[in-house]
Amino acid sequence: MQIVLNSVVSMHYRVATSEGEQVDASTPDAPLTFLHGHGQIIPGLEESLTGKVEGHVADLTIAPEKAYGAYDDGLDLRVTKDAFPAEIQPRLLPGFRFMAEHPTAEGQQVMFTVAKVDEQGVYVSGNHPLAGKTLLFHVEVVGVRAASAHELEHGHAHGGPGCGHEDPGHDHGQEHKHGGNCGHQH
Ligand code: ZN
């Protein structure tokens, strides 16, 4: 069965940057399972998998534009501490994250992470940690099947290990807990 729009794909993978930094990998008993064609994995990976079949093994080099985007210097900012609400200020430590409007693209929300705080202010970055990085993937497709009507209704694959979706009757009214190996791009 070929991978097409709405296939449920399971694959083992590992990924590193072109600089040799290990980024992520599936574990032997828990392949990544995702609904193909819905942007749940990076575009370059999704494109390369389309039309492939179970058993497909590949080494892929994916440019930033097809991964987490180019690095945007305009998203590295220094702001004064008092630009933040008073109740937030004590929490402004490296790693603290918050949503704010893009400094130039009006209306676009960006997740910022605090990098550093000193007497000059708070240094924040809205770049994804993998922005600007070329990624080297090793992938191995271990399963391809058609999505169920229920999965299509939800817009994601069910039954992947660690996905929290083993119960096929889970409540649509509640936000899904997408912990673990759920096949979602974060
Ligand atoms: Zn669901």
**pLDDT 10s digits, 77-117:** 999 999 999 999 999 999 999 999 998 888 999 999 999 99
Return the pLDDT at 169.
55
- Is the pLDDT assigned to residue 141 strictly greater than 60? yes
- Output the average pLDDT for the chain: 89
d(CA 123, CA 73): 13
What is the token pair recorded at 28? 């032997």
Name the token pair of 31: 């392949």
| Distance in angstroms (rounded) separating the CA atoms of residues 50 and 52 | 6
Distance 31 CA to ligand 1 centre (A): 18
Q: Kindly state the DSSP code that residue 75 receives in the 8-state scheme.
A: G
Which is nearest to 122 in space by CA: 86, 78, 85, 90? 78
Q: Note the pLDDT of residue 182.
A: 46
Distance CA 25, CA 101 (A): 32
pLDDT digits (tens, 9 = 90+) for 11-40: 999 999 999 999 999 999 999 999 999 999
What is the pLDDT confidence band of residue 185, given thresholds at 50, 70 and 90?
A: very low
Q: How far is the CA of 75 from the centre of ligand 1 (A)?
A: 33
CA atoms within 13 A on the CB side of 155: 7
- What domains lie within the chain, and their CATH numbers? 1-67+132-186 (3.10.50.40), 73-125 (2.40.10)
Alpha carbon of residue 100 to chain centroid: 19
Cβ atoms within 10 A of the Cβ of 23, count?
Answer: 14
Token pair listed for 100: 């704010």
pLDDT at 177: 45
Three-class secondary structure of residue 38 per DSSP: coil
Instruction: Quote the CA–CA distance of 50 and 119 in Å, as a whole number.
Output: 51
pLDDT of residue 122: 97
Q: What is the pLDDT of residue 160?
A: 61
Confidence of residue 148 (pLDDT cuts 50, 70, 90): very high
CA of 152 to the centre of ligand 1 (A): 9
Q: How far is the CA of 36 from the centre of ligand 1 (A)?
A: 15
pLDDT of 181 > 80? The answer is: no
Residue 176: the pLDDT is 52
Tell me, in angstroms, the distance from the centre of ligand 1 to residue 156's CA: 6
Q: Which of 175 and 114 is assigned the larger pLDDT? A: 114
CA-CA distance, 90 to 179, in Å (whole number)? Answer: 28
Question: Is the Cβ–Cβ distance between 2 and 21 less than 8 Å?
Answer: no
Torsion of CA 115, 121, 127, 133, to 10 degrees: -60
